[in-house]
Amino acid sequence: MISTHVKRAFKFRFYPSDVQAAELSRTFGCVRLVYNLALQARTEAWTLRQERVNYNATSAMLTVWKRTEDLAFPNEVSSVPMQQALRHLQTAFSNFWKKRAKYPRFKSKKRSRDSAEHTTSAFRFRDGRLTLAKMSAPLDIVWSRPLPEGARPSTVTVSRDSAGRWFVSMLGEDKPHMPGAPPASAVGVDVGITSLVTLSTGEKVANPGHERRDRERLAKAQRDLARKVKGGINQEKARRKVARVCVRISDRRRDFLHKLTTRLVRENQTVVIEDLTVRNMVENHKLARAISDASWAELRSMLEYKCAWYGRDLVVVDRWFPSSKLCSTCGTLQDRMPLNVREWTCGCGTTHDRDVNAARNILAAGLAVAACGDGVRPQRSTPGGQSSVKQEVVPPQRTRAAAQLRG
């Protein structure tokens, strides 16, 4: 069932004045400092006394720190972003204790993302004008799309990326709407490198290769950066040039994936994909760059939350399902199927395109799950704590199929 309301963030670019940029830069520095001090205090408490320090204790520490002479400057900025940083640290430790994440790391001025989160007490949003605490003038926001009617942001996050661009993200409730797809419409999706996705309908979507297209420009910018004297002004200028090329690549890639996934969700009630372990696949150094440029993990992530938003079904086929080696016509399983084999002929006389055949097998396995639920195990829940509509196909001969795939 489609959710009546979902939490949704709307991100816009804005152009701060010199005074606003200085104020936000100070806020970023204070947030980073408070986070690192709290992390150090919690680490020492556990190392020396085996004591777990919670958010309330670090919040009391922050009050003491701000009263000292050396740490009085955080009083010059809004206290809400610093409190939110302590809450984020608490979440990081909770994920660590539950073995969902690694131990929290200290924030670096050069490598960490500059951001500050403001709750409703730290900003004012009226008549389409956003004013943050400690600021007299509203932000100059470029409204690239309208907010939902009657939207009231619950949190506002201001950030600055590596290329020096400023963004504001507003989180609020929204009621997603998309025209209903035909009830029986379903598509199987097989991801690849040459063709980013191959659909069970036979359609292939070529991989734009955004990183490959800008590879020479990126390499030149990186060579120029390597020649600069460390710590100088010219090095910072060269670093910004590298960052601008990188964000150009990531922006174009994200835009392409958004359009592709929205189209798949709009046209189909059921989308079936394969569960790929991208983290393990990029260990192949010959394919790591191409796999990273394809961004399969981001493609799946977009399909997950968009299907949850718009009431579509997402079925995930187990990674060991032999989709490429199985004949979609007669069901014969081939012994070997090297990657260089793009077309093959089955004993039944059917000639298959490797990717189209895999997409059709993925669709058939997903529809079998949707029809009878046989051989299914639950997948992880969707972000936000809602029960997931995803299901995973578990073939009964997992060990045998795994051995054949490796062969």
Predicted confidence (pLDDT) per residue in 268-279, tens digit: 999 999 988 888
Q: How far is CA 156 from the centre of its chain?
A: 19
pTM, entire model: 0.82
Residue 58 pLDDT: 95
Catalytically active residues, by annotation:
190, 274, 355
Give CA angle at 383 (379, 389), nearest 5°. Answer: 40
Residue 198 pLDDT: 93
According to the 3-state scheme, what is the secondary structure of 140-200? CEECCCCCCCCCCCCEEEEEECCCCCEEEEEEEEECCCCCCCCCCCEEEEEECCCEEEEEC
Residue 334 pLDDT: 83
Give CA angle at 114 (166, 238), nearest 5°. Answer: 75
Residue 155 pLDDT: 96
User: CA-CA distance, 178 to 360, in Å (whole number)?
Assistant: 26
DSSP reduced 3-state for 354: helix
Query: pLDDT tens per residue, the chain (407 residues)?
Result: 444 678 889 999 999 999 999 999 999 999 999 999 999 999 999 999 888 899 999 999 999 999 988 888 888 899 999 999 999 999 999 999 999 999 999 999 888 999 999 999 999 999 889 999 999 899 999 999 888 887 889 999 999 999 999 999 999 888 877 777 777 789 999 999 999 999 999 999 999 999 999 999 999 999 999 999 998 999 999 999 999 999 999 999 999 999 999 999 999 999 999 988 888 888 888 888 998 999 999 999 999 999 988 889 999 988 888 888 888 888 888 888 888 888 888 888 888 888 999 999 999 988 887 666 554 443 444 444 443 344 544 443 333 333 333 33
Residue 205 pLDDT: 94
Strand order through the sheet with 195-199: 204-206, 195-199, 186-191, 270-274, 313-317, 391-393, 376-378
The set of long-range contacts for 377-385, using a CB threshold of 8 Å and a minimum separation of 24, is 379/316, 382/304, 382/305, 382/308, 383/305, 384/6, 384/7, 384/308
Residue 372 pLDDT: 63
Residue 168 pLDDT: 97
Residue 249 pLDDT: 95
Residue 195 pLDDT: 92
